[in-house]
Amino acid sequence: MLSRNSKGPILSKVLLLSIVALFSLSAYGQTSPRAVTEIITDYKGYWISSNNANTVKPDNSHHLLSFMYQGVHISTGVDDDKLSANGITFTEGNYRSLPEFVVTAVLSSNTKVALGQLYDGVDNGKSTPSPSGDINLYLQDGIRGLDLGTGVANLPFGSLIFDMTNIVPSAVGDALPDILVTQIADPSASKDSYEFLDENGNVVGNRVEIIFTNIPSVGKWTADFYEASKSPMTLETGFKKTERDLRLWAGDFADFGLTQKNVSQIRKFRINLSGNSDVAFVAYNGNAFVDESPVPLPITLASFGARQNRQNILLDWVTATEENSSHFEVQVSQDGKTFSSIGNVAAAGNSNFMLNYSFKFSPGNARSHYFRLKQVDLDGTFEYSKVVTAAVALDQDTHLYPNPAKGNVVKLQHPLASGSEKIVVWSASGVKLLEREVTKGSTETELNVKKLPKGMYQVVWQSSSARITKKLLLD
């Protein structure tokens, strides 16, 4: 739960990293709470909570590198080399957020998107434009989906159900937790419950209930909380640059009453939400599942890349196999955080051999762009690809003519104008002599240089994200 500077409704955030091993007490079987006592993230390169002693409070995206469980550092697989470089002795792990984390309940005014307060680069203020209102993005984002600097507080009352099969029997009762949960705001005394289901919806083993106030904080972070029920989302007074606690729990399949015999019955994993849950992500141990995934993936992506082609960016990807695949949604971002759709490409449906796909994107500016694929199955489930980046060198397609110029008019060919660009002519000594706005939709602009004496000048085309300079000689 989350309070408005310690007043009003509370936002409780559950960091679900290892969904099974972080609960306090089951209504159907006793289990000891297994609180995570220390975490290490990549905030500003490397950040360790040191049992809540670190006074530095993360205020941006940062990914979980390791967590301490029963006195042992366990890596997530995000960056094991960084742990070793900082002298951390750890047990190697392989954690990812659960796929298809889809929230279908109606959002209330109490539901907030939680973002590190500098996530958008704006200190103690709202982002312009407002962050995306798709709350599912903030529950699966970042490397392996393990971004602790984004999440959703006060998820609506109801249930989240995940497909879950292919459990490796030997994972039950081993030394590694299989589910990891995080709480990133103000915990409430209300309970969330977690359970595994068979194909008929019956509970396998026992249900586990979590009371987050029983779990100690491992550190603090600074966040903005946007009201998610509004479009665009709003950032109200009292929810800017607020300090909140981080809490994590982890658990083994055995904590749910699962055994090496009954795990074969598992088909679903269900989280019953109290309405006060504050979730950054729900994670699982990939080593506990066949092929590292709790569900058979509809698409095996062999490669995905981006490259420049003149003023366009070409995206190419290859699938090794496809099963009941529907389409690829191509998404773009200018900051690597907030993505929007730019088109769909139909998938083959079913295939056991390599298939090639491509998509052309015309960016219109020279800023680096980030791309990812949303791989959608026929039943609506989906998975995101890795993120790739590319930019076009727009100056290669910017020409000034005639040059040298002897007449009164020169022309500048430039990228397609959005309406916010301008052209400025500077003298060799740095004096601004001429400025004009560029007409939206144009690719060529005339400049009247009749009043300029002979000599060398700089002609600068500039937008909000690019600056291209050409030398001009008036003869």
pLDDT of 146-184, one tens digit each? 999 999 999 888 888 888 888 999 999 998 999 998 999
What CA–CA distances, in Å, run from 106 to 11, 111, 157, 289, 403? Answer: 17, 10, 9, 32, 62
Whether the pLDDT of residue 398 is over 80: the answer is no
| Residue 396: predicted pLDDT | 57
**Which residues are registered as beta bridge partners of 183?**
247
The per-residue pLDDT for range 349-384, each reduced to its tens digit, is: 888 778 889 999 887 665 668 899 998 888 777 788
Among 127-141, 268-282, 434-448, where is mean pLDDT lowest? Answer: 127-141
Query: Which whole number is the average pLDDT over 437-453?
Result: 88
Q: Tell me the C-alpha distance between 250 and 256, whole Å.
A: 12
35-44, 124-133, 244-253, 293-302: least confident range: 293-302
When pLDDT is cut at 50, 70 and 90, the band that residue 11 belongs to is very low
Same fold, 299-390 and 394-474: yes
Measuring CA to CA, which residue among 436, 434, 432, 429 is closest to residue 456?
A: 429
- Between CA 29 and CA 207 the distance in angstroms is 8
What percent of the chain has a predicted confidence (pLDDT) above 90?
38
Tokens coding 400:
């000034």
Which band of pLDDT confidence, cut at 50, 70 and 90, is reported for residue 392? low
| Cβ atoms within 10 Å of 253's Cβ, excluding its own | 28
* 299-390 maps to CATH 2.120.10.30: no
DSSP string covering 302-314: EEEEEEEETTEEE
Rounded average pLDDT over 58-65: 95
Count of other CB atoms within 10 angstroms of residue 404? 11
Q: Under CATH, what is the fold of the domain 394-474? A: Immunoglobulin-like (2.60.40)
The torsion angles phi and psi of 146, rounded to 5 degrees, stand at -105, 45
| pLDDT level of residue 12 (50, 70, 90 thresholds) | very low
Q: What percent of the chain has pLDDT over 70?
A: 87
Report the mean per-residue pLDDT for the chain. 83
Q: For residue 346, what are the β-bridge partners? A: 327
**298 vs 393, residue with greater confidence:** 298
Decide: 180 and 17 in contact? Cβ < 8 Å.
Answer: yes
pLDDT given at position 410? 92
Is it the case that residue 259 has pLDDT exceeding 60? yes
What is the C-alpha end-to-end distance of the chain, expressed in Å? 71
Q: Say which range, 44-58, 129-143, 380-394, has the weakest mean pLDDT.
A: 380-394
The answer, yes or no, to whether residue 204 has pLDDT greater than 80, is: yes
What residue ranges do the domains of the chain occupy?
17-292, 299-390, 394-474
| pLDDT for the residue 180 | 94
Element spanning 384, H or E: strand 382-384
Tell me how far apart the alpha carbons of residues 402 and 384 are, in angstroms, rounded to a whole number: 49
Taking the C-alpha atoms of residue 62 and residue 119, their distance in angstroms, rounded to an integer, is 10
**Does the pLDDT of residue 26 top 50, yes or no?**
no
Question: Which ranges of 57-140 does DSSP label H, i.e. alpha helix?
Answer: 80-85
